[in-house]
Chain A
Amino acid sequence: MTSHLYRFFPALEDRAITVPAGSVAEVLQAVNQLAPGFTDYILDERGALRRHVYLSVDDTIVVDRKALSDRVPEHGVVYIFQALSGG
């Protein structure tokens, strides 16, 4: 995931996080168990991806940004990006 999130969740830094396969929403909730509050940074209060956050499952950008229903297969890797700009 983007290293900027480690500032808020140092427990996630420098480790491979392995959680059960499922929907992207379920995967994020599993990470939230390890780092409470994590999903509040990635998702809004409706559970949708925040505007400047992108997720991919392996090399496929997540399509359902609203309900995060895209599936993460066994051994799939979820990547979290942020769109950085400005000065």
Chain B
Amino acid sequence: MSDMLILGTRKGTVIFERTNGAWRPRPIAHAGIPVCYAARDPRDGTLWVSLDHGHWGPKLSRSRDDGKTWEDTSSLKYPEGARYIAKYLPTPDFDPEAPVGQPEYQDATVFKIWHLAFGSAEQAGRIYAGTIPGGLFVSDDGGDSWTLNRPLWNHESRGGDLFAGEATSENRWGGTPASIDYGVFEPGIHSVVVDPRDPNRIHVAVSSAGVLETADGGQTWQGRNNGLLMDYLPNPAADWGHDPHFMTNCTGQPDHLWQQNHCGVFYSDDGARHWRKVSLPDAGVHFGFPIAVDARDGRTAWVVPARADSERMAIGGGLCVARTTDGGQTWQAFRAGLPQEHAYDIILRHGLDIAGDCLCFGSTTGNVYMSEDRGETWQCLGNHFPPVYSVRFG
């Protein structure tokens, strides 16, 4: 059972500790700085925070003394020669009917360090970072230095090896609206899932491209989008262009992967080789951002449903958490302890986490709720936090 909870918020890092059964927040760290992701490395206890500075560029901040002191690092950078084929920003003057021109190459810089994942216990110092504009970085020295994973960056689905020259294929990765804040329309890696049985097997989810898998430690990558369906492009089952919002796995049954996608909830029980749409719109389970999976039973998952697409708020003014225990065939909605009127909260993609029987989520309205009985009843941990971007048990 975890006794630490780490919130990344628009105004800094909020760490809760549980003492004598009560969760209490410490004074905010990184005060005033947007924190898009924060998590604890379970191997050595290091706290990691992704700072989303509006002015000074994305930085990582780490603490090796449980949050007493923090050290900022700027070492995660795109290497010289890293380029991508720019996507057009969907601005009002963008003409979708305009003839396709020559690829426009852009030198890569980091806009956002969106997600961090940690290697296996045997891989001391191995950390992964997913970024906008769509690069996966790897560190083998505890975050002192980072290397761009080039096979993924140079994937055929993205135009080929632009380090070596011109594009050899079409860029079929779409942009994520989350990148528009940075003045671009580029993809982002928000989910990095390491297989605990075999740390060379890694799945990443990319908005808006889909899922890719490596089975050889990142030397080669294959698309894993079979069964995903999208409702915003002419071909719903196209290889690329999918918009997973968050993907995670069951650590005890790692072939069971789940994703809350823009176009529904999808489940795979064969390591992402096939996905099945398991959302039930009539039950309110369809759109949303985060998803959590039980650590032992790969058929059990939780989502926080929201209304798509133009409203983006809680359904019917009330918050609920839905759970399935049968791989998405049925869903049960739980509302006890959650507001049921005048609630407009959205829970973003990293805003829900699970540890044992405990679940916690934080919303864009600054409300934080905790369940200690597998999501059936909820208690409020506070209503006045800054907008919450990420929630992780420590």
Contact = CB atoms under 8 A, between A and B. Distances in A.
Interface of A: 4-5, 8, 37, 40-42, 44-46, 48, 50-53, 82-83, 86
Nearest to B54: A52
B169 interface: no
B202 to A, nearest CB: 25
Nearest to B82: A45
Given A40-B57, A41-B74, A53-B56, 14 more contacts: A5-B56, A8-B72, A41-B53, A44-B110, A45-B77, A45-B78, A45-B110, A46-B107, A46-B109, A50-B55, A50-B56, A51-B182, A82-B55, A83-B55
Contacts of B99: none
Given A45-B77, A45-B109, A50 B57 contact: yes
B96 interface: no
A37 B74 contact: yes
Interface string B40-59: 00000000000001111101
Interface residue range, chain B: 10 to 19
Given A46-B107, A46-B109, A52 B74 contact: no
A8 B56 contact: yes
- Chain A at the B interface: mostly helix, strand, loop or mixed? loop
B55 A40 contact: no
Interface of B: 53-57, 59, 72, 74, 77-78, 107, 109-110, 182-183
Contacts of B182: 51
Nearest to B56: A41
- Chain B at the A interface: mostly helix, strand, loop or mixed? loop
28 contacts: A4-B55, A5-B56, A8-B56, A8-B72, A37-B72, A37-B74, A40-B56, A40-B74, A41-B53, A41-B55, A41-B56, A41-B57, A41-B74, A42-B56, A44-B57, A44-B109, A44-B110, A45-B77, A45-B78, A45-B110, A46-B109, A48-B109, A50-B55, A50-B56, A50-B57, A51-B182, A53-B56, A86-B54
Nearest to B31: A7
